[in-house]
A = this chain, B = another copy of it.
Amino acid sequence: MLGSVATFGGGAIAQTDPLPSWNEGPVKKSITEFVARVTTQGGSDFVPVSERIATFDNDGTLWCEQPVYFQVAFAIDRVKAMAPQHPEWKTTQPFKAILDKDMKALAASGEKGLLPIIAATHAGMTVEDFTKSVLEWTATARHPRFNRPYIELVYQPMLELLSYLRANGFKTFIVSGGGIEFMRPWVEKVYGIPPEQVVGSSGEVKFQFGADGKPELMKLPKIEFVDDGPGKPVGINRFIGRRPIFAFGNSDGDLQMLQWTAAGEGARFAGLVHHTDATREYAYDRESKVGKLDKALDEAAAKGWPVVDMKQDWKTIFPDGTK
Protein backbone atom coordinates (compact mmCIF):
# COMPACT_ATOMS: atom_id res chain seq x y z
CA MET A 1 0.00 0.00 0.00
CA LEU A 2 2.86 2.34 0.74
CA GLY A 3 4.88 4.03 -1.93
CA SER A 4 8.30 2.67 -2.73
CA VAL A 5 11.39 4.13 -4.29
CA ALA A 6 13.75 2.31 -6.61
CA THR A 7 17.32 3.26 -5.78
CA PHE A 8 19.13 3.87 -9.03
CA GLY A 9 22.34 2.02 -9.64
CA GLY A 10 21.71 -0.64 -7.06
CA GLY A 11 18.43 -2.12 -8.18
CA ALA A 12 17.32 -2.54 -4.58
CA ILE A 13 13.86 -1.35 -3.60
CA ALA A 14 13.66 0.84 -0.49
CA GLN A 15 10.23 1.41 0.94
CA THR A 16 9.63 5.12 1.55
CA ASP A 17 9.10 6.19 5.12
CA PRO A 18 5.35 6.72 5.61
CA LEU A 19 6.03 9.00 8.60
CA PRO A 20 8.90 11.23 7.42
CA SER A 21 8.21 14.00 9.96
CA TRP A 22 8.58 11.60 12.86
CA ASN A 23 12.03 11.11 14.33
CA GLU A 24 13.05 7.53 14.88
CA GLY A 25 12.29 6.56 18.46
CA PRO A 26 9.98 4.53 20.66
CA VAL A 27 6.77 6.36 19.70
CA LYS A 28 7.23 6.04 15.97
CA LYS A 29 8.24 2.43 16.47
CA SER A 30 5.16 1.72 18.58
CA ILE A 31 2.95 3.07 15.80
CA THR A 32 4.52 1.17 12.91
CA GLU A 33 4.76 -2.03 14.96
CA PHE A 34 1.10 -1.78 15.97
CA VAL A 35 0.01 -1.26 12.37
CA ALA A 36 2.11 -4.20 11.23
CA ARG A 37 0.61 -6.43 13.93
CA VAL A 38 -3.05 -5.69 13.14
CA THR A 39 -2.62 -5.82 9.36
CA THR A 40 -0.61 -9.03 9.09
CA GLN A 41 -2.99 -11.61 7.66
CA GLY A 42 -2.84 -14.80 9.65
CA GLY A 43 -1.13 -13.09 12.58
CA SER A 44 -2.62 -13.52 16.05
CA ASP A 45 -3.40 -9.79 16.26
CA PHE A 46 -4.90 -9.43 12.77
CA VAL A 47 -7.93 -7.11 12.65
CA PRO A 48 -10.30 -7.14 9.65
CA VAL A 49 -10.45 -3.87 7.71
CA SER A 50 -14.03 -3.12 8.80
CA GLU A 51 -12.90 -3.05 12.45
CA ARG A 52 -9.87 -0.82 11.95
CA ILE A 53 -11.39 2.22 13.62
CA ALA A 54 -9.01 5.02 14.63
CA THR A 55 -10.18 8.05 16.61
CA PHE A 56 -8.34 11.33 17.09
CA ASP A 57 -9.02 14.24 19.35
CA ASN A 58 -8.74 17.49 17.39
CA ASP A 59 -7.68 20.45 19.60
CA GLY A 60 -4.06 19.92 20.62
CA THR A 61 -3.88 16.53 18.89
CA LEU A 62 -4.41 17.33 15.21
CA TRP A 63 -4.10 21.12 15.37
CA CYS A 64 -2.86 23.74 17.77
CA GLU A 65 -5.05 24.90 20.68
CA GLN A 66 -3.08 27.84 22.08
CA PRO A 67 -3.32 30.56 23.24
CA VAL A 68 -7.07 29.75 23.24
CA TYR A 69 -9.10 26.99 21.60
CA PHE A 70 -9.48 28.08 18.00
CA GLN A 71 -13.25 27.84 18.25
CA VAL A 72 -13.14 30.49 20.98
CA ALA A 73 -11.05 32.68 18.66
CA PHE A 74 -13.71 32.10 16.00
CA ALA A 75 -16.50 33.12 18.40
CA ILE A 76 -14.63 36.27 19.44
CA ASP A 77 -14.02 37.22 15.81
CA ARG A 78 -17.67 36.58 15.00
CA VAL A 79 -18.79 38.87 17.84
CA LYS A 80 -16.63 41.61 16.37
CA ALA A 81 -18.00 40.97 12.88
CA MET A 82 -21.60 40.92 14.07
CA ALA A 83 -21.28 43.92 16.40
CA PRO A 84 -22.61 46.54 13.92
CA GLN A 85 -25.94 44.65 13.94
CA HIS A 86 -25.92 44.56 17.76
CA PRO A 87 -25.42 48.08 19.17
CA GLU A 88 -26.55 46.81 22.58
CA TRP A 89 -23.34 44.75 22.85
CA LYS A 90 -21.38 47.96 23.47
CA THR A 91 -22.83 48.04 26.96
CA THR A 92 -23.55 44.35 27.62
CA GLN A 93 -21.09 41.85 29.05
CA PRO A 94 -19.45 39.64 27.96
CA PHE A 95 -19.76 41.25 24.52
CA LYS A 96 -18.48 44.61 25.78
CA ALA A 97 -15.30 42.95 26.99
CA ILE A 98 -14.65 41.50 23.53
CA LEU A 99 -15.34 44.77 21.74
CA ASP A 100 -13.16 46.67 24.23
CA LYS A 101 -10.44 43.99 23.85
CA ASP A 102 -10.62 43.69 27.62
CA MET A 103 -9.39 40.12 27.90
CA LYS A 104 -9.26 40.37 31.68
CA ALA A 105 -12.98 41.13 31.91
CA LEU A 106 -13.68 38.39 29.37
CA ALA A 107 -11.70 35.85 31.36
CA ALA A 108 -13.51 36.99 34.51
CA SER A 109 -16.86 36.15 32.91
CA GLY A 110 -15.65 32.53 32.85
CA GLU A 111 -17.57 29.64 31.37
CA LYS A 112 -20.83 31.34 32.22
CA GLY A 113 -19.78 34.22 29.99
CA LEU A 114 -19.06 31.82 27.16
CA LEU A 115 -22.67 30.69 26.85
CA PRO A 116 -24.17 33.97 25.54
CA ILE A 117 -21.22 34.25 23.16
CA ILE A 118 -21.80 30.75 21.84
CA ALA A 119 -25.54 31.43 21.60
CA ALA A 120 -24.95 34.65 19.62
CA THR A 121 -22.38 33.19 17.25
CA HIS A 122 -23.44 29.55 16.94
CA ALA A 123 -27.26 29.72 16.98
CA GLY A 124 -30.15 31.66 15.49
CA MET A 125 -29.10 30.76 11.97
CA THR A 126 -29.49 27.81 9.63
CA VAL A 127 -26.82 25.13 9.52
CA GLU A 128 -25.83 26.35 6.02
CA ASP A 129 -25.38 29.93 7.22
CA PHE A 130 -23.25 28.73 10.12
CA THR A 131 -21.11 26.69 7.72
CA LYS A 132 -20.60 29.82 5.62
CA SER A 133 -19.48 31.83 8.65
CA VAL A 134 -16.96 29.12 9.56
CA LEU A 135 -15.51 28.98 6.04
CA GLU A 136 -15.28 32.76 5.87
CA TRP A 137 -13.34 32.71 9.13
CA THR A 138 -10.97 29.88 8.16
CA ALA A 139 -10.23 31.76 4.92
CA THR A 140 -9.47 35.10 6.55
CA ALA A 141 -8.56 34.86 10.25
CA ARG A 142 -4.93 34.53 11.28
CA HIS A 143 -3.31 33.13 14.37
CA PRO A 144 -1.85 35.93 16.55
CA ARG A 145 1.55 34.33 16.99
CA PHE A 146 2.13 32.41 13.77
CA ASN A 147 0.31 34.87 11.50
CA ARG A 148 -1.09 32.05 9.43
CA PRO A 149 -4.63 30.83 8.80
CA TYR A 150 -5.70 28.63 11.70
CA ILE A 151 -6.30 25.63 9.43
CA GLU A 152 -2.61 25.70 8.49
CA LEU A 153 -1.69 25.15 12.12
CA VAL A 154 -2.29 21.44 11.89
CA TYR A 155 0.44 19.02 12.83
CA GLN A 156 2.34 17.64 9.84
CA PRO A 157 3.30 14.41 11.69
CA MET A 158 -0.36 13.76 12.46
CA LEU A 159 -1.39 14.36 8.84
CA GLU A 160 1.14 11.70 7.91
CA LEU A 161 -0.19 9.39 10.60
CA LEU A 162 -3.78 9.80 9.34
CA SER A 163 -2.68 8.98 5.78
CA TYR A 164 -0.56 6.07 6.94
CA LEU A 165 -3.47 4.54 8.85
CA ARG A 166 -5.86 5.01 5.94
CA ALA A 167 -3.35 3.43 3.56
CA ASN A 168 -3.46 0.46 5.90
CA GLY A 169 -7.24 0.11 5.80
CA PHE A 170 -8.14 2.18 8.84
CA LYS A 171 -11.17 4.46 8.90
CA THR A 172 -10.10 7.67 10.64
CA PHE A 173 -12.48 9.67 12.84
CA ILE A 174 -12.25 12.90 14.77
CA VAL A 175 -13.66 12.72 18.30
CA SER A 176 -13.45 16.23 19.67
CA GLY A 177 -14.82 18.31 22.50
CA GLY A 178 -15.15 21.04 19.89
CA GLY A 179 -18.35 21.78 18.01
CA ILE A 180 -19.14 19.23 15.34
CA GLU A 181 -20.45 21.89 12.94
CA PHE A 182 -17.39 24.06 13.48
CA MET A 183 -15.15 21.24 12.23
CA ARG A 184 -17.16 19.64 9.45
CA PRO A 185 -16.80 22.44 6.86
CA TRP A 186 -13.01 22.10 6.56
CA VAL A 187 -11.87 18.71 7.92
CA GLU A 188 -12.15 16.89 4.61
CA LYS A 189 -9.88 19.35 2.86
CA VAL A 190 -7.43 19.62 5.75
CA TYR A 191 -7.33 16.10 7.21
CA GLY A 192 -8.90 13.97 4.48
CA ILE A 193 -11.62 13.06 6.98
CA PRO A 194 -15.18 13.40 5.61
CA PRO A 195 -17.79 15.30 7.66
CA GLU A 196 -19.66 12.09 8.49
CA GLN A 197 -16.56 10.85 10.32
CA VAL A 198 -16.56 13.68 12.84
CA VAL A 199 -17.87 13.23 16.38
CA GLY A 200 -18.11 16.37 18.47
CA SER A 201 -20.12 18.53 20.81
CA SER A 202 -23.37 19.82 19.38
CA GLY A 203 -26.20 22.24 19.88
CA GLU A 204 -29.85 21.51 19.26
CA VAL A 205 -31.14 21.89 15.75
CA LYS A 206 -34.76 22.28 14.67
CA PHE A 207 -36.41 21.30 11.39
CA GLN A 208 -38.76 24.02 10.20
CA PHE A 209 -39.98 25.82 7.10
CA GLY A 210 -38.32 29.14 6.38
CA ALA A 211 -39.85 32.38 5.15
CA ASP A 212 -39.27 31.13 1.60
CA GLY A 213 -41.39 28.04 2.32
CA LYS A 214 -38.38 25.77 2.08
CA PRO A 215 -37.40 23.32 4.80
CA GLU A 216 -34.42 24.40 6.87
CA LEU A 217 -32.46 23.33 9.93
CA MET A 218 -32.24 26.11 12.48
CA LYS A 219 -29.53 26.10 15.14
CA LEU A 220 -30.94 26.71 18.62
CA PRO A 221 -29.07 28.26 21.57
CA LYS A 222 -29.10 25.04 23.58
CA ILE A 223 -26.25 22.61 24.08
CA GLU A 224 -27.28 19.08 23.27
CA PHE A 225 -24.18 16.98 23.79
CA VAL A 226 -20.74 17.59 25.23
CA ASP A 227 -18.26 15.25 23.63
CA ASP A 228 -15.57 15.51 26.25
CA GLY A 229 -14.22 13.33 29.05
CA PRO A 230 -16.70 10.48 29.68
CA GLY A 231 -18.74 11.94 26.80
CA LYS A 232 -16.11 10.76 24.32
CA PRO A 233 -16.69 7.01 24.61
CA VAL A 234 -20.42 7.79 24.71
CA GLY A 235 -20.09 9.85 21.51
CA ILE A 236 -18.00 7.13 19.88
CA ASN A 237 -20.65 4.57 20.73
CA ARG A 238 -23.43 6.81 19.45
CA PHE A 239 -21.83 7.91 16.19
CA ILE A 240 -19.56 5.03 15.29
CA GLY A 241 -21.04 2.10 17.17
CA ARG A 242 -17.74 0.26 17.36
CA ARG A 243 -14.88 0.48 19.82
CA PRO A 244 -11.74 1.97 18.27
CA ILE A 245 -8.58 -0.09 18.16
CA PHE A 246 -6.45 3.06 17.88
CA ALA A 247 -6.93 6.40 19.65
CA PHE A 248 -4.86 9.54 20.07
CA GLY A 249 -5.45 12.45 22.42
CA ASN A 250 -3.51 15.11 24.28
CA SER A 251 -5.43 16.06 27.40
CA ASP A 252 -7.40 14.80 30.36
CA GLY A 253 -10.53 15.26 28.25
CA ASP A 254 -9.29 12.33 26.18
CA LEU A 255 -8.61 10.00 29.09
CA GLN A 256 -11.87 8.06 28.94
CA MET A 257 -11.60 7.63 25.16
CA LEU A 258 -8.14 6.16 25.66
CA GLN A 259 -9.31 3.94 28.53
CA TRP A 260 -12.25 2.70 26.47
CA THR A 261 -10.03 1.99 23.48
CA ALA A 262 -7.27 0.31 25.48
CA ALA A 263 -9.69 -1.92 27.39
CA GLY A 264 -10.92 -3.71 24.27
CA GLU A 265 -9.80 -7.22 23.44
CA GLY A 266 -6.85 -7.81 21.13
CA ALA A 267 -4.20 -5.33 20.06
CA ARG A 268 -4.97 -1.71 20.99
CA PHE A 269 -3.13 1.56 20.65
CA ALA A 270 -3.73 4.51 22.99
CA GLY A 271 -1.41 7.47 22.52
CA LEU A 272 -0.92 11.01 23.79
CA VAL A 273 0.66 14.15 22.36
CA HIS A 274 2.66 15.99 25.01
CA HIS A 275 3.27 19.65 24.17
CA THR A 276 6.92 20.13 25.08
CA ASP A 277 8.13 22.57 22.48
CA ALA A 278 7.79 26.22 23.48
CA THR A 279 10.07 27.27 20.66
CA ARG A 280 8.31 25.73 17.73
CA GLU A 281 4.82 25.52 19.28
CA TYR A 282 3.88 25.60 22.99
CA ALA A 283 4.89 23.79 26.16
CA TYR A 284 2.15 22.98 28.66
CA ASP A 285 0.61 20.13 30.59
CA ARG A 286 -0.52 19.75 34.22
CA GLU A 287 -1.23 23.40 34.98
CA SER A 288 -2.63 24.56 31.66
CA LYS A 289 -6.10 26.06 31.40
CA VAL A 290 -6.28 24.92 27.79
CA GLY A 291 -5.60 21.27 27.10
CA LYS A 292 -4.71 20.29 30.65
CA LEU A 293 -2.73 17.05 30.68
CA ASP A 294 -2.39 15.65 34.16
CA LYS A 295 -4.30 12.48 35.02
CA ALA A 296 -3.94 11.14 31.49
CA LEU A 297 -0.17 11.64 31.68
CA ASP A 298 -0.04 9.59 34.87
CA GLU A 299 -2.22 6.89 33.39
CA ALA A 300 -0.10 6.76 30.23
CA ALA A 301 2.99 6.20 32.39
CA ALA A 302 1.23 3.53 34.42
CA LYS A 303 -0.17 1.71 31.39
CA GLY A 304 2.79 2.16 29.09
CA TRP A 305 0.85 4.18 26.50
CA PRO A 306 3.10 5.91 23.96
CA VAL A 307 3.50 9.64 24.66
CA VAL A 308 4.74 11.93 21.89
CA ASP A 309 7.39 14.30 23.15
CA MET A 310 6.76 16.98 20.56
CA LYS A 311 10.25 18.43 20.81
CA GLN A 312 11.95 15.05 20.50
CA ASP A 313 9.64 13.10 18.27
CA TRP A 314 8.55 15.56 15.62
CA LYS A 315 10.95 16.86 12.99
CA THR A 316 8.41 19.34 11.75
CA ILE A 317 5.40 20.78 13.54
CA PHE A 318 3.33 22.47 10.85
CA PRO A 319 3.06 21.77 7.10
CA ASP A 320 5.43 23.48 4.64
CA GLY A 321 8.26 23.30 7.11
CA THR A 322 7.95 26.96 8.03
CA LYS A 323 8.31 26.09 11.71
Contacts and interface: CB of A to CB of B under 8 A. Distances in A.
B50 A188 contact: yes
B260 A237 contact: no
A222 B242 CA distance: 21
A240 B127 CA distance: 13
A113 to B, nearest CB: 27
Interface stretch (A96-104, A144-152, A192-200, A290-298): A192-200
Contacts of A188: 50
A194 B171 CA distance: 11
A263 B231 CA distance: 34
Contacts of A237: 127, 205, 217
Interface in A211-242: 214-215, 217, 230-231, 233-234, 237-242
Nearest to A217: B237
A256 interface: yes
A202 B238 contact: yes
A240 B195 contact: yes
A301 to B, nearest CB: 18
Contact of A171 (B196, B207, B241, B259): B196
A181 interface: yes
A241 B205 contact: no
A205 B241 CA distance: 12
Contacts of A238: 180, 202, 205
Interface residues of A, number: 34
Interface string A161-201: 00000000001000000001100100010000011111000
A241 B207 contact: no
Contacts of A195: 240-242
A323 interface: no
A256 B50 contact: no
A206 interface: yes
Given A50-B188, A53-B196, A196-B240, 16 more contacts: A127-B237, A181-B241, A184-B241, A195-B240, A196-B197, A196-B239, A198-B241, A205-B238, A206-B230, A207-B234, A215-B233, A215-B256, A215-B260, A217-B234, A217-B237, A239-B239
8 contacts: A195-B241, A195-B242, A196-B242, A198-B241, A202-B238, A205-B238, A215-B233, A215-B259
Q: Which 6 A-B pairs have the closest CB atoms?
A: A195-B241, A207-B230, A184-B241, A196-B240, A215-B259, A207-B233
